[in-house]
Chain A
């Protein structure tokens, strides 16, 4: 459990933690209906929905449940470990949402209000219905088999006609719910296709089931009538059960991956402090902001809208919007961008654009534009399926026509055999079963798949393009080499610097503190001089920590970031700050090369910074200083040269290029919107997951090809046999079932990721 909590803490970087202010917004009764419902009978009772972050197993669900129930005023709490959702029933008279959200945080998990509870309830309803259809089919199948088995094993004459008749009757009664209820979707879809004059997988299925049921019913009720042949109730129920099993597994897995993705979009409702005409501040929901409002933004908060600075000066983290890895100084009437973070001190801003007009929203719109250019692999699969299904129907007709003169009964059964034996199961399951098994395995190790088809594109990738900031590197900086005045040692200088840096939120300060967490020098008064550094009273006298000019140090020639330390006698030490390259970056890139891929860096950062990272990772192809549209143009140029590009990025500014590349992967620390555009999202911060993902995609496509080859072979052999009447309905049903089973079992090999 300890490990998970740590995991979650590292994963949360780049996104500010749920601030007390953000939580307070949850207590605004106006926000309650967005993530819950008022009880019909008691107005004080609310049924609210939460998304729990950081849950990895069922044990976590129990812990969160206990944490929620421990809050007085929470009447009921249910946590679902699979979907990661919690539903909380609470009384507005006794508690506030922030209290029980805080309880979840204390238990070590993240909690966000879920605003799409309605859609969720709808999804649960359809899931239950599908499960119910499957159970009915499965149970009836078992019992119908019991009635059918004696007929197969009995010697002629052993069973009296009335017992036989009774068993057929019983089978008929139990097939009825399967036909009327479990087959609902097949008949519904087939009927829809007939009306729209198109063919889909469900049409032959529905036709086969219907013919089998009609002839079996005729044989049951009029044993001496026009159809006195066999009954096929066992074939019908087994057939339906296998079909439904496949579909149930498919939707299960899909909901699991899709559900996890939806979750990433949910964030706390942001609230801001708006200035009232009398100069005091009130906390309001961001939705209520209008242009020309003055708002106060505290350090650690995101700017809620585009606007300009009116009072104070600060540093802004715009890494996600512009790709600039270093904090940007904001003073005077500087422009502030919605979605960037205020790092240093509280400032007042005047709002100029809100909501859809912000730069943030425009970048989102650009992504949507790029997303429409995606090749639609799914349509290709449909185009192949269409002629095949028409061919199956024609083959069934041909079988009837062929036998009609000599033996109509045999002709009809041959037609059913054709329809059943070619059951599109193997064909239609071949691809999704493998892809879903792969997606499920990937989801379990923290890679979410947004489009299944992307697995196919991913297997054909030959070029991997990495963004730098937040992808190859962490967003934070790291202390590199240290130079000190003669007579001092680096450790002591670092200890002193870290002790002072503790009093500042500046990224350089945080790097110093991270390098020496136990900085133990006694530090008196610390004064932060914005834009220059820190002035501190220490046992060592007055010490300055900050820029070269501020400390009287010589200016560095290269563009590397540095922090300097100086005392009363002048310069004391210089700390070089490097970008913190992800631990597994170098290894991952070696493995990608070994897999035959070309690796590139494409970054919006300064050339010097990008070059340094490229050098350390030994990547030769580097493009720096690119704006979002330049990145997209670069990827388009690669594609025009015939390359298949995988883009790995994180930031919002990567959105368009993520959508423009053949396949895109986003790292989990990214802005939520970029994640929803990427084909795959890696939760956590392991770059090695990109390698696993790629290798697994290749394996998936190998298995898909095996499955398709098997389905093609099976159909090529079985259709002629069925048309000529060599296969009767139950062998056809068995063949269909075994063939589907083979395909599913082959796909199940993908459930484990081989590294």
Chain B
């Protein structure tokens, strides 16, 4: 079970990395309009 001593801290780091990714997404307008992008596929160009 010694591997847990590595995996648990690693999971903490992973969560922080994912949070950083979310921060980037929010501040790049990714969440501003959730419906428009979904319907873009229905348009020709």
Q: Which B residues touch A136, using CB under 8 A?
A: 19, 22
Q: Is A538 an interface residue (CB 8 A)?
A: no
Q: Which of A40-48, A167-175, A670-678 contacts B (4 or more CB under 8 A)?
A: A167-175
Q: Establish whether residues B19 and A139, one from each chain, have CB atoms under 8 Å apart when the complex forms.
A: yes
Interface residues of B in 9-45 (CB under 8 A from A): 9, 11-12, 15, 18-19, 22-23, 26-27, 31-36, 38-40, 42-43, 45
Chain A: minimal CB distance from B19 (Å): 6
Q: Is A327 an interface residue (CB 8 A)?
A: no
Select which of A57, A62, A174 is within 8 A of B15 by beta carbon: A174
Q: How far is the CA of A128 from the CA of B27 in the complex (A)?
A: 8
Chain A: minimal CB distance from B35 (Å): 4
Q: Which B residues touch A61, using CB under 8 A?
A: 33, 36
Select which of A57, A58, A160, A173 is within 8 A of B12 by beta carbon: A173
Q: Establish whether residues A170 and B18, one from each chain, have CB atoms under 8 Å apart when the complex forms.
A: no
Q: How far is the CA of A131 from the CA of B34 in the complex (A)?
A: 13
Chain A: minimal CB distance from B16 (Å): 8
Q: Considering the complex, give the chain A residue whose CB is closest to the CB of B4.
A: A163
Q: Considering the complex, give the chain A residue whose CB is closest to the CB of B23.
A: A132
Q: Establish whether residues B8 and A58, one from each chain, have CB atoms under 8 Å apart when the complex forms.
A: no
Q: How far is the CA of A147 from the CA of B40 in the complex (A)?
A: 40
Q: Is A82 an interface residue (CB 8 A)?
A: yes
Select which of B1, B12, B38, B45 is within 8 A of A174 by beta carbon: B12
Q: Considering the complex, give the chain B residue whose CB is closest to the CB of A80.
A: B33
Q: Is A742 an interface residue (CB 8 A)?
A: no
Q: Establish whether residues A143 and B39, one from each chain, have CB atoms under 8 Å apart when the complex forms.
A: no
Taking A128-B26, A143-B11, A170-B12 as contacts, is the C-beta distance between A62 and B4 under 8 angstroms? no
Report the count of interface residues on B (CB-CB < 8 A).
26
Q: Establish whether residues B36 and A131, one from each chain, have CB atoms under 8 Å apart when the complex forms.
A: no
Q: Which A residues touch B26, using CB under 8 A?
A: 128, 131-132, 135
Q: Is A140 an interface residue (CB 8 A)?
A: yes
Q: How far is the CA of A237 from the CA of B40 in the complex (A)?
A: 36
Q: How far is the CA of A160 from the CA of B33 in the complex (A)?
A: 48
Q: Which A residues touch B36, using CB under 8 A?
A: 58, 61-62, 79-81
Chain B: minimal CB distance from A464 (Å): 36
Q: Establish whether residues A80 and B5, one from each chain, have CB atoms under 8 Å apart when the complex forms.
A: no
Q: Which A residues touch B34, using CB under 8 A?
A: 82
Q: How far is the CA of A139 from the CA of B18 in the complex (A)?
A: 9
Q: Establish whether residues A147 and B33, one from each chain, have CB atoms under 8 Å apart when the complex forms.
A: no
Q: How far is the CA of A128 from the CA of B22 in the complex (A)?
A: 11
Taking A58-B35, A135-B22 as contacts, is the C-beta distance between A147 and B15 under 8 angstroms? no
Label chain A's interface by main secondary structure. Answer: helix
Q: How far is the CA of A342 from the CA of B19 in the complex (A)?
A: 60
Q: Is A59 an interface residue (CB 8 A)?
A: yes
Taking A132-B23, A139-B22 as contacts, is the C-beta distance between A62 and B35 under 8 angstroms? no
Q: How far is the CA of A57 from the CA of B32 in the complex (A)?
A: 15
Q: Which B residues touch A147, using CB under 8 A?
A: 8
Q: Establish whether residues B35 and A143, one from each chain, have CB atoms under 8 Å apart when the complex forms.
A: no
Chain B: minimal CB distance from A249 (Å): 14
Q: Is A633 an interface residue (CB 8 A)?
A: no
Q: How far is the CA of A58 from the CA of B36 in the complex (A)?
A: 5
Q: How far is the CA of A181 from the CA of B28 in the complex (A)?
A: 20
Q: Is A166 an interface residue (CB 8 A)?
A: yes
Q: Which B residues touch A135, using CB under 8 A?
A: 19, 22, 26
Q: Establish whether residues B39 and A59, one from each chain, have CB atoms under 8 Å apart when the complex forms.
A: yes
Taking A58-B38, A62-B40 as contacts, is the C-beta distance between A82 and B33 under 8 angstroms? yes
Against B, the Cβ 8 Å flags (1 = close, 0 = not) of A15-58 are 00000000000000000000000000000000000000000011
Q: Establish whether residues B12 and A62, one from each chain, have CB atoms under 8 Å apart when the complex forms.
A: no
Q: How far is the CA of A131 from the CA of B32 in the complex (A)?
A: 10
Against B, the Cβ 8 Å flags (1 = close, 0 = not) of A200-238 are 000000000000000000000000000000000000000
Q: Considering the complex, give the chain B residue whose CB is closest to the CB of A82.
A: B33
Q: How far is the CA of A223 from the CA of B29 in the complex (A)?
A: 45
Chain B: minimal CB distance from A260 (Å): 15
Q: Is A194 an interface residue (CB 8 A)?
A: no
Q: Which B residues touch A174, using CB under 8 A?
A: 12, 15
Q: How far is the CA of A665 from the CA of B36 in the complex (A)?
A: 31
Select which of B11, B27, B43 is within 8 A of A62 by beta carbon: B43
Q: Which B residues touch A173, using CB under 8 A?
A: 12
Q: How far is the CA of A143 from the CA of B19 in the complex (A)?
A: 12
Q: Which A residues touch B5, using CB under 8 A?
A: 163, 166
Chain A: minimal CB distance from B39 (Å): 4
Q: Considering the complex, give the chain A residue whose CB is closest to the CB of B10.
A: A170
Chain A: minimal CB distance from B42 (Å): 7
Given A62-B36, A143-B15, output 20 extra A-B contacts at Cβ < 8 Å: A57-B39, A58-B33, A61-B36, A62-B43, A80-B33, A82-B33, A82-B35, A124-B32, A128-B31, A132-B26, A135-B19, A135-B26, A139-B15, A139-B22, A166-B8, A167-B8, A170-B8, A170-B11, A170-B12, A174-B12
9 of the cross-chain contacts (CB-CB < 8 Å) are: A61-B33, A61-B36, A66-B45, A80-B32, A124-B32, A131-B26, A135-B19, A147-B8, A177-B19
Per CB-CB distance, the 4 closest pairs between chain A and chain B, nearest first, are A58-B35, A58-B36, A58-B39, A143-B15
Which positions in A face B, CB cutoff 8 Å? 57-59, 61-62, 66, 79-82, 124, 128, 131-132, 135-136, 139-140, 143, 146-147, 160, 163, 166-167, 170, 173-174, 177
Which positions in B face A, CB cutoff 8 Å? 1, 4-5, 8-9, 11-12, 15, 18-19, 22-23, 26-27, 31-36, 38-40, 42-43, 45
